Amino acid sequence: MTWRHVSHTADVGIEVQAATREELFTGAAEALTALLVEPGTSVEGEQVEVPVSLPAGDDASLLRDWLAEVLVAFELDGVVGRDFSVALGPDGLRGTIRGERFEPGRHSLGMEVKAVTYHGLEVGRTADGWRAAVLLDV
Amino acid sequence: MSTRGQVRWERVDDVSWRIPRDEARGMRVDGLVFVDAALARDVEGDPALEQVANVATLPGIRGASLAMPDIHWGYGFPIGGVAATDPARGGVVSPGGVGYDINCGVRLLRTDIRLDDARPHLRDLMDALFARIAAGVGQSGPFHFDDQELTDVLAGGVQYLRKRGLATDDDVEQCEAHGRIDGARPELVGELARRRGADQCGTVGSGNHFIEVQVVDRVEDPWAARALGLEDGYLTVLIHSGSRGLGYQVCDDYLKRFQGVPERYGIDLPDKQLACAPITSREGQEYLGAMRAAANFGFANRQLLTVQVRATFEAVFDKPWPRLGLELVYDVAHNIAKEEEHEVEGERAGLLVHRKGATRAFPAGHPELPARYAEVGQPVFVPGDMGRASWVLVGGPRSLERSFGSTCHGAGRRLSRHAAVKAARGRDLRSELEERGVIALAHSRKGLAEEQPDAYKDVDAVVRVVHEAGLSSRVARLRPVGVVKG
């Protein structure tokens, strides 16, 4: 699985490639977290775990909603995700965000992400797996 | 995004270019972009122009789909876009025409403090502002509202804060819409939005939001400057922030809710991001009720930031703030949809004016202006980058006739955030800014790099266009001496 950040004039996008749909989702969550908190500044702080449950929907909407959960867990409860797991089934998404609590002064704040947008939102199959593109309003 | 080819546009005069109405694109009106020749070259080929054309397809749009000289690409609507829709002609409201940061805006405080007298205290002042004012991410603000109080903020904005002793009569008077938009419906602001907002009222946020201490650097219109309480060499404070997580979540919730709504009303859109509903529909009315509540939260946020700025000045200069003359000049939104009466095609009409990255700029004599600005026009603040300058303008003589009483809102980005960070590699931006006479303090090192001066267009060029177009008139240029960022 690989992800990268894509530059727009005023905003930032995420592109992910993965062998499975589940990895696509966890990779996108890693890419989002790397924007919220500067990578390499994670510390062994208070460990937290947030369960996520989303009703069934199309892949693109599910990915957007999953990332919105990662964003809100960080913004509301300071959860800096380190390890994500996702299971996708007919009932929707069951996932977990595991990580540590943000500590100002120990973590270095990245950028404020306002929202995970629907603009240019794509999830699709490729020859060797899955690919996703998401645009963030920052 | 539509792939109907590049839009065609033509020069109208020195400061405006027209995208002629193209029926094949479904345009109902022309597009009109306020740029001079140099800015036109920058914008040419940019998807933002196609977005101006796309907005021109919205049902009930009147006049033209407008864009200000700080135009750049946004979601559905361009940033710098203005669209007035007419409820009597099936006009629509579009959450994308307001944006995620509902009632993002700016307010300016003036002071009786001369820069020369303040110089020995500037470092302490900036350190104290940085220490006191929370970014709002990983850090709550000093104000906590319980459920009922938050409802009161959403319904009452700055007017509620006045009842709580957190705003003066002048703070209310000197605010767009007197700091409270009528018709707010707090019950339509969802639980998650409320949770995102509960601890964030009175926090600045990061990104391009800031609190800047400045000096009046050049007065262009001494009479207007006097009316606004501004004088060469004196300090001012510019606050740029919006409705924080609460507003972002309201937009998010309603974009989700608006999926499938245009189809239900038979509205054909060239771009899904323009999702909209008739103003008079239940969906449209509900979004507007929630948006007004978020807007009131935005006004209250900037007021609570003002409370903290005043307290910081009091501590550093050891005087109560009224003796430092730290009064609100004005507070104005630049991401909002407002119900306003305008003259269009020879008749008066009640319109919904979407301003997304555009500022209201009513001219002298407009009935909505506070008494003290009745003769001078509505103050407008245009933040530039942190190394150069910001501008104070007043509503211009032609703003009502040309732009539904609107003008620009900033310099507009030139470099992407990544390009800006790359350009900052191996440099010490804080020292560079200090050499330019600006003390810059930021919670995020990367944030400082993203917002460095080179990332922005020259605000002077943007302001020259709106001045010459008669949308707003130059009053004074403000030079930053210190900036606090999230």
Q: Where are the alpha helices (DSSP H) in B202-318?
A: 222-227, 244-257, 261-264, 282-317
Q: Do B273 and A138 touch (CB under 8 A)?
A: no
d(C-alpha B393, C-alpha B44), whole Å: 27
Q: Convert the pLDDT of each residue in B4-38 to its tens digit.
A: 568 999 999 999 999 999 999 999 999 999 999 99
Q: Convert the pLDDT of each residue in B331-370 to its tens digit.
A: 999 999 999 999 999 999 999 999 999 999 999 999 999 9
Write down the residue that tokens 């009935």 correspond to: B367
d(C-alpha B335, C-alpha B352), whole Å: 13
- CB-count burial class (<10 Å; 0-12, 13-18, 19+) for B236: buried
DSSP helix/strand/coil, B177:
helix
**Preferred mutation among B73, B75, B140, B259 to probe A, highest tally of A CBs within 10 A:** B75
Query: Could you tell me which residue, B101 or A106, shows the higher pLDDT?
Result: B101
What confidence tier does B1 reach under pLDDT thresholds 50, 70, 90?
very low
Q: What is the DSSP letter of B273?
A: G
For range B323-330, the mean pLDDT: 98
Encode B411-437: b = buried (16+ Cβ within 10 Å), e = exposed: bbbbbbbebbbeebeeeebeeebeeee
Residues 75-114 of A with CB under 8 A from B: 75-76, 78, 102-104, 107-112, 114
d(C-alpha A107, C-alpha B435), whole Å: 29
DSSP helix/strand/coil, A98:
strand
Q: Convert the pLDDT of each residue in A1-44 to its tens digit.
A: 999 999 877 788 999 999 999 999 999 999 999 999 987 765 67
Q: Convert the pLDDT of each residue in B223-239 to its tens digit.
A: 999 999 999 999 999 99
Q: CB within 8 A of B230, min separation 6: which ones?
A: B110, B216, B219, B236, B329, B392, B475, B476
pLDDT at A13: 93
Beta bridge partners of B392: B381, B476
d(C-alpha B77, C-alpha B406), whole Å: 16
| Contact status of B75 with chain A (Cβ, < 8 Å) | yes
Instruction: Quote the crossing angle between the two packed helices B244-257 and B282-317, to the nearest 10°.
Output: 170
DSSP A12-50: EEEEEEESSHHHHHHHHHHHHHHHHB-TT------EEEE
Radius of gyration of chain B (CA): 21
| ipTM of this complex | 0.89
Residue type, B290: A
For range B198-215, the mean pLDDT: 90
pLDDT at B457: 86
DSSP helix/strand/coil, B280:
coil
Beta pairing, strands B30-33 & B61-72: parallel
Q: CB within 8 A of B388, min separation 6: which ones?
A: B453, B458, B459, B460, B479, B480
DSSP helix/strand/coil, B98:
coil
Q: Could you tell me the two tokens for B404?
A: 């539904």
Q: Convert the pLDDT of each residue in B45-72 to its tens digit.
A: 889 999 999 999 999 999 999 999 999 9
Residues of A in contact with B76 (CB under 8 A): 119
pLDDT at A126: 94
Please determine, for residue B3, whether its predicted confidence score (pLDDT) is greater than 50: no
Q: Which residues of B are catalytic?
A: 409
Question: Nearest-CA neighbor of B288 among B245, B252, B251?
Answer: B251
Q: Do A12 and B418 touch (CB under 8 A)?
A: yes
| Contact status of A49 with chain B (Cβ, < 8 Å) | no
Q: Do A68 and B252 touch (CB under 8 A)?
A: yes
Beta pairing, strands B10-13 & B16-19: antiparallel
Residues of B in contact with A109 (CB under 8 A): 135, 137-138, 206, 443-444, 447, 486
What predicted TM-score, i.e. pTM, was given to this entire model? Answer: 0.94
pLDDT at B481: 97
Q: Convert the pLDDT of each residue in B107-138 to its tens digit.
A: 999 999 999 999 999 999 999 999 998 776 65
